[in-house]
A and B are shown apart, each in its own frame.
Chain A
Amino acid sequence: MAEAYQAEDDAVLYVLGELTTARRREFEAQMAQSAELRQLVQELQEGALALSLTVPRRRPAPEIWTRIEKQLARGRSSEAGFAFAWRCWWRSGWAVATVCLLGWLIYALATGGSFRPATPKSPVLATENPAHSGPLANNPAPLTPDATPHSSAAVSNAALQLLQSRTAELLALRRQVTDLTNQMQELAALLMHQQGLLTEPDRIKFFQLTQTTNGSGTPESITSTNLQRALFLAMARELGWLPPGATNGADGGHPLTGSNANLVPVTQAGVDFVDLHPGSNTVIGPVNPGSAQAQVQTQPTGTGEDSVSLANLYTNAIPGGISSSNLFVAVDSSVVPMGTSVAFWMVTAGGSYLPMGTAVLGSNPMVVTVPTSAWGSIGGGYFTVTATGGGGTTTTLGWVALPQMLAPVSSP
């Protein structure tokens, strides 16, 4: 009869996961022999399910599944991760052992050196007297050798409780440290991967030409919708997605004026593409990129307005990209007025200006492409864009540094 009660009690503890490993195995062996016991366990599990259903429903955040996927992928791919976790556990294991030893010493001191194994039913002992229900804070018993046996037992019990709680906290912290370390490794691997991608020569990288000043000293980064579209088409063209287009004006685009005879503009999908051929194009006038405050005519057709600073009126950024073979930038009337002559330069680290060519903006957005071979082996410096308005005054629209990341891999 007593065995039957014991089995029922153990069934609840089994369902709640409160049995020790050894006792659980014994119980499972017992269950294997008893259909009645298996039935009871199943019913208790269903009771636990019913109790869980009483909890108000909440939805987990969508990113949890992503985290699970990542964790599974990490577990599969990295044997090293396991080895690392093992090392962490080992180290933490020593830490736990150290804490246990310290706890033992405290216990030994508190009990005056006479150790007696304590009962594991510590909460029962701790609450024999409800007034002294707390493990330490509520227990006034002094830690002195002449304490009464009852207070000594209470202190011992409290010390054990403290030790248990510290050990549990330490284990939880160990788990957190392991999790954080794994996350850190994952982020480091991701960063290295991203850095690796940036250094790949065949990858297109995007940038925005920074203005020297826009009057307020703060560079703007506005890119018009037309420019975004033009840049996308430039990228498509660079990747070979855009079929070879008709010559200028074929799709009704505004006639484009090149400053040189060898400039062959192509209009595709409402965007004028200009492929510069440095060495044979010429640039209008010598330009000092530092003279950004130059005054120019803002309206090429002349509207009767006075001359104003181009930089103060047109402050939009010039977006661009660079592949292993070409550098391209997009310009439209949100950057400079229609009819403006736009010149492109390479400025070496030594301050020499190498002209890449000139184009005049028509009514369509314009994409200008310069082959990276054009600047040979200068290995750095700046790509600079200047504009010459109707009044003949030139100003710098923007520039981008060409660090190692953007520098051409080689020149033919």
Chain B
Amino acid sequence: MRFPEQNRAGGLPEAEVREDVQLLALIAGENQHALAALYRRRSGLLYSLLVRMLGNEMEAQEVLQDVFVQVWRRAPDYDPGRASPVAWMILIARGRAVDRLRSRSRRNAGQAAYEQEVISLEMEVNATRQPERDELAAACTAALHQLPEAQGEVLQLAFLRGWTHEEIAAAAGEPLGTIKARIRRGLLALRQTLKDYHG
């Protein structure tokens, strides 16, 4: 089965969400063409996330393959009332990537490691500014930069590096409740960006 080039970055217009839901329903009925269509629409976003998390293209490819096999198997369980298809797939992908990150070696979750991770996250963001990035992605990136520094850091450590809340709290020397609140507020602030973008 062949498919055309990756399409544009996935925003969340209502029509696209509806199409994704329809595709997942077809996949649940074992329609492989629907899986190919979903792959064409969303593999770019998922792959980008995996490369960023794992820092290794080969590993990201393996996980991407695994993610779409999971989508194929778990499509019958997908509930549109609980999550949008893209968010559902992103969280499957993230979960797989975190498994890999944690299986590499037990992290030395100390203050030095914390500072090192934060610096590497900053460097990655600065090194990968892309002028061709679409408007929605640019808006989300701007929103991430506008978060209070500590909030942006813990959010990325938790989401992109797979650090647990406890690890972050211990490394940052902050109460666990503070870290949890920062992550929650950070996610909600970014979500607001999406909402504003689509009106």
Cβ of A18 and Cβ of B164 under 8 Å apart? yes
Cβ of A71 and Cβ of B9 under 8 Å apart? no
Q: How far is the CA of A408 from the CA of B64 in the complex (A)?
A: 49
Q: How far is the CA of A67 from the CA of B1 in the complex (A)?
A: 11
Q: Mark A44-56, 1 if CB is under 8 A from B, else 0.
A: 1111111111111
Cβ of B84 and Cβ of A46 under 8 Å apart? yes
Contacts of B125 in A (CB 8 A): 54
Cβ of A49 and Cβ of B158 under 8 Å apart? no
Cβ of A47 and Cβ of B186 under 8 Å apart? yes
Closest A residue to B9 using CB positions: A57
Cβ of A58 and Cβ of B43 under 8 Å apart? no
Q: How far is the CA of A46 from the CA of B183 in the complex (A)?
A: 13
Given contacts A55-B48, A56-B133, contact A133 B108 (CB under 8 A): yes
Given contacts A18-B164, A54-B144, A72-B69, contact A44 B184 (CB under 8 A): yes
Given contacts A45-B87, A54-B144, A60-B44, contact A123 B170 (CB under 8 A): yes
Contacts of B186 in A (CB 8 A): 47
A7-15, A91-99, A104-112, A272-280 - interface stretch: A7-15
Given contacts A68-B65, A124-B166, A169-B103, contact A17 B190 (CB under 8 A): no
Q: Mark B54-96, 1 if CB is under 8 A from A, else 0.
A: 0000001110110011001000000001111011101100110
Contacts of B184 in A (CB 8 A): 8-9, 11-12, 44
Cβ of B83 and Cβ of A57 under 8 Å apart? no
Say whether A172 faces chain B, with CB atoms less than 8 Å apart: yes
Cβ of A17 and Cβ of B95 under 8 Å apart? yes
Q: Mark B1-25, 1 if CB is under 8 A from A, else 0.
A: 1010010011110000000000000
Closest B residue to A10 using CB positions: B180
Say whether B194 faces chain A, with CB atoms less than 8 Å apart: yes
Closest-CB distance, A99 to chain B (whole angstroms): 14
Residue of A38, A41, A165 touching B106 (CB-CB under 8 A)? A165
Closest-CB distance, A60 to chain B (whole angstroms): 4
Point out which of A11, A12, A68, A124 has the most chain B C-beta atoms below 10 A from its C-beta: A68
Closest-CB distance, B186 to chain A (whole angstroms): 7
Cβ of B159 and Cβ of A16 under 8 Å apart? yes
Say whether A244 faces chain B, with CB atoms less than 8 Å apart: no
Closest-CB distance, A20 to chain B (whole angstroms): 13
Say whether B136 faces chain A, with CB atoms less than 8 Å apart: yes
Q: How far is the CA of A13 from the CA of B158 in the complex (A)?
A: 10
Cβ of B112 and Cβ of A133 under 8 Å apart? yes
- Contact residues of B between 141 and 199, Cβ < 8 Å to A: 141, 143-144, 155-156, 158-160, 164-167, 169-171, 180, 183-184, 186-191, 193-195
Q: Mark B34-58, 1 if CB is under 8 A from A, else 0.
A: 0110010001110111011000000
Contacts of B137 in A (CB 8 A): 53-54, 57
Contacts of A162 in B (CB 8 A): 106
Residue of B9, B111, B136, B187 touching A51 (CB-CB under 8 A)? B187
Counted as pairs of residues, one from A and one from B, with CB atoms less than 8 Å apart, the total is 203
Say whether A65 faces chain B, with CB atoms less than 8 Å apart: yes
What total of chain B residues lie within 8 Å of the partner, measured CB to CB? Answer: 86
Cβ of B52 and Cβ of A56 under 8 Å apart? yes
Closest-CB distance, A168 to chain B (whole angstroms): 4
Say whether A251 faces chain B, with CB atoms less than 8 Å apart: no
Closest B residue to A176 using CB positions: B62
Residue of A52, A65, A138 touching B1 (CB-CB under 8 A)? A65
Contacts of A47 in B (CB 8 A): 186-191, 194
Q: How far is the CA of A172 from the CA of B184 in the complex (A)?
A: 30
Cβ of A124 and Cβ of B44 under 8 Å apart? no
Cβ of A53 and Cβ of B136 under 8 Å apart? yes
- Contact residues of A between 56 and 77, Cβ < 8 Å to B: 56-61, 64-65, 67-69, 71-72, 75
Residue of A11, A44, A55, A130 touching B191 (CB-CB under 8 A)? A44
Closest-CB distance, A320 to chain B (whole angstroms): 34
Residue of A9, A17, A49, A71 touching B87 (CB-CB under 8 A)? A49
Say whether A161 faces chain B, with CB atoms less than 8 Å apart: yes
Contacts of B108 in A (CB 8 A): 133-135, 138
Q: How far is the CA of A17 from the CA of B83 in the complex (A)?
A: 13
Cβ of B111 and Cβ of A130 under 8 Å apart? yes
Q: How far is the CA of A13 from the CA of B136 in the complex (A)?
A: 26
Contacts of B141 in A (CB 8 A): 53-54
What are the nearest 8 A-B pairs in CB distance? A133-B110, A47-B187, A165-B106, A172-B103, A47-B191, A50-B190, A56-B128, A45-B87
Residues in A lying within 8 Å of B, measured CB to CB: 8-9, 11-13, 15-18, 38, 41-61, 64-65, 67-69, 71-72, 75, 121, 123-124, 126-127, 130, 133-135, 138, 161-162, 164-165, 168-169, 171-172, 179
